[in-house]
Amino acid sequence: MSAAPLKFIDLFSGAGGLSEGLTRAGYQVLFSNEISPDYALTYRRNHPGVKAETSDIRRIDARKLMDELSLRRGEIDLIAGGPPCQGYSINAPIRSVNDKRNHLFREFLRFVDVFAPRSILIENVPGLVSFERGSTLKAILDSLADSGYGVDVRILGAAYYGVPQMRWRTIIVGLRGRAVPPSVFPEPVCRAPIRPNFAATFNGHKLIRFPGPDSPPDFVTVRNAIGDLPALINGERGALVKEYVSMPTHPYQEMAREKAIGVINHEASRLSDVNLKRMKYIKPGGNWTDIPESLLPRGMKRARKSDHTKRYGRVDPDGLSSTILTKCDPHWGAYFHYEQDRAFTVREAARIQSFPDHFVFSGTQAQQFAQVGNAVPPLMANFIGIAMKRVLS
């Protein structure tokens, strides 16, 4: 007889990347909260049967919710979530303690105090570690400790867990009434060509979990991830549900196609004429330095060749993608397709984030890109969930 699934609630759930990964790992989500209506619509569409609330978390009565879920204090296995990170992202224009988004983690802790879950999972950007010289991270860890939790933190590279992009996330794990063993963080399953460009130590401790010498070298490439998706020309929409162009050629493609009826959210945005002209000069793996100076944006004409190495990039099919952001704007990363003269589609961005093809994104195309870019890669969440489940068991 299989064990009963571990039960959790997902706060600041976004479109549901964390829930998708934890569900695959054998957890059952009971409740989610997301303030953005378009993100919440996508969440509900892909997690039917879950009590998914669209509201400001500050207005939710946690004790009333616990009664509605027929739970007693200490019964739930996990509270997971990612409090908004823009305020303390290393990419934010201004990083300030006055940004109200920096204090929403206190709402997460309020739920922890009421529910007293067996475990806690918080994900965020690597910039959390260095924000205000570590004081925000220290406040989170101290608050969890004061609530009776052993806590620890690591920075995980998504590519080490089979996600084909250069993405890093800060992961905080708490266990009620016990110390956190190192095994609660998943071991990397492969080596990948990624390097941190942020502070990776906290209180003198190294936070990154690198692959060991015995880890396989075969990371998942962009071609492995999206090579079976239909070709499109710039601006092409086509059928709502498209057919795959071949049988799966990689296990990653097989995983993505599970339960899928076809290819959805696969429509090419229309690039400007000047971007189409620029693209003609960019080779796979190349970037803005391949473009003639006469076609460069004014600001890029003054840039050094060694700067902004991903801007106006055509992705290397045998390498990793740039971190998928809230829009695949070529001005900010290597988002040109490796052999088609267009930018990534929402489905290609979702594949690179490790969303399965049956996961459908709602809203406008701009909203869909934002949902994908702000999500936790489900495959990485799956590995974290499996490691935590072993410890909880």
Neighbours of 199 (CB within 10 A): 17
- Please tell me the least confidently modeled range out of 153-162, 276-285, 301-310, 338-347: 301-310
What pLDDT was estimated at residue 301?
Answer: 86
Compute the distance between CA of residue 5 and CA of residue 131 in angstroms, rounded to an integer: 36
Q: Which domain holds residue 384?
A: 6-215+377-392
In eight-state DSSP terms, residue 375 is S
Question: What does the pLDDT look like over 202-219, one tens digit per residue?
Answer: 988 899 989 988 888 899
Average pLDDT of 114-140? 90
Prediction pTM value: 0.92
Is the separation of the CB atoms in 268 and 236 below 8 Å? Answer: yes
Question: What does the pLDDT look like over 8-47, one tens digit per residue?
Answer: 999 999 999 999 999 999 999 999 999 999 999 999 999 9
Residue 67 has pLDDT above 70, yes or no: yes
pLDDT, greater one: 156 or 197 = 156
User: Of 18, 35, 76, 85, which residue is the catalytic one?
Assistant: 85
- One-letter identity of residue 211: P
Is the residue at 260 inside a domain? no
Q: Which helix (H) or strand (E) holds 357?
A: none
Neighbours of 81 (CB within 10 A): 28
Residue 91: pLDDT band with limits 50, 70, 90: very low
Neighbours of 74 (CB within 10 A): 11
Compute the distance between CA of residue 302 and CA of residue 297 in angstroms, rounded to an integer: 9
Is the residue at 192 inside a domain? yes
Is the residue at 51 inside a domain? yes
Is the residue at 160 inside a domain? yes
What pLDDT was estimated at residue 28?
Answer: 97
For residue 321, the SS3 value is strand
- What does residue 27 show for φ and ψ, rounded to 5 degrees? -95, 160
Torsion of CA 224, 327, 122, 361, to 10 degrees: -70
Q: pLDDT averaged over the chain?
A: 92
**Residue 85: active-site member:** yes
Average pLDDT of 269-276? 95
What pLDDT was estimated at residue 273?
Answer: 95
Residue 92 has pLDDT above 70, yes or no: no
Residue 132 has pLDDT above 90, yes or no: no
Q: How many helices (H) and strands (E) does the chain have?
A: 11, 9
In eight-state DSSP terms, residue 12 is S
Block residue for tokens 């806590």: 151
What pLDDT was estimated at residue 2?
Answer: 59
Torsion of CA 79, 129, 127, 162, to 10 degrees: -60
| N residues, the chain | 393
Compute the distance between CA of residue 325 and CA of residue 366 in angstroms, rounded to an integer: 12
pLDDT, greater one: 199 or 355 = 355
Is the residue at 338 inside a domain? no
Q: Where are the beta strands (DSSP E) in the chain?
A: 6-11, 27-33, 51-53, 78-81, 119-124, 149-157, 168-176, 201-202, 205-206
- Please tell me the least confidently modeled range out of 93-97, 248-252, 316-320, 330-334: 93-97
pLDDT, greater one: 104 or 66 = 66
Residue 87 has pLDDT above 60, yes or no: no
- One-letter identity of residue 130: S
What pLDDT was estimated at residue 156?
Answer: 97
Q: Token pair for residue 70?
A: 């027929």
Compute the distance between CA of residue 209 and CA of residue 227 in angstroms, rounded to an integer: 29
Is the separation of the CB atoms in 348 and 226 below 8 Å? Answer: yes
CATH of the domain at 104: 3.40.50.150
Q: What is the 3-state secondary structure (H, E, C) of 229-295?
A: CCCCCCCCCCCCCECCCCCCCCHHHHHHHCCCCCECCCCCCCCCHHHHHHHCCCCCCCCHHHCCHHH
Residue 73 has pLDDT above 80, yes or no: yes
Residue 121 has pLDDT above 80, yes or no: yes
Is the residue at 230 inside a domain? no
What pLDDT was estimated at residue 100?
Answer: 52
What pLDDT was estimated at residue 298?
Answer: 86
Average pLDDT of 337-363? 97
End-to-end CA distance of the chain: 15
- Residue 174, strand partner residues: 120, 151
Residue 222 has pLDDT above 50, yes or no: yes
Compute the distance between CA of residue 155 and CA of residue 234 in angstroms, rounded to an integer: 37
Is the residue at 34 inside a domain? yes
What pLDDT was estimated at residue 135?
Answer: 83
What pLDDT was estimated at residue 88?
Answer: 38
Residue 175 has pLDDT above 90, yes or no: yes
Is the residue at 328 inside a domain? no
Block residue for tokens 């920075």: 155
Compute the distance between CA of residue 189 and CA of residue 15 in angstroms, rounded to an integer: 26
Domain count of the fold of the chain: 1
